[in-house]
Amino acid sequence: MQALAIAGAGMIAAANRLDDSAKRVATWQARDTDTDLAKEAVERITAKTAFQANVAVIKTADKMTGALLDLKV
């Protein structure tokens, strides 16, 4: 099912964004960079929301598949 593949890819992308942001925050003092902690907080919230949205897509696709199988029985 294509919706599951797209949602799975979206979950992976969101998890990667969260991981990258966490790494930048964890090393912001050790590095001589201009890491903006407020921007990183927004990035983590956005990644979390994107992950949750993709989970909702998977749950909906699962319910739809179940409904279709119930119709065939």
C-alpha 29/C-alpha 44 separation (Å) is 18
Domains identified in the chain, total number: 1
Range of the domain at 25: 2-72
C-alpha 24/C-alpha 57 separation (Å) is 29
- Is residue 2 within 8 Å of residue 61, measured between CB atoms? no
What's this model's pTM, rounded to 2 decimal places? 0.80
Query: Tens of pLDDT along 2-56?
Result: 989 999 999 999 999 999 999 988 888 776 677 888 999 999 999 999 999 999 9
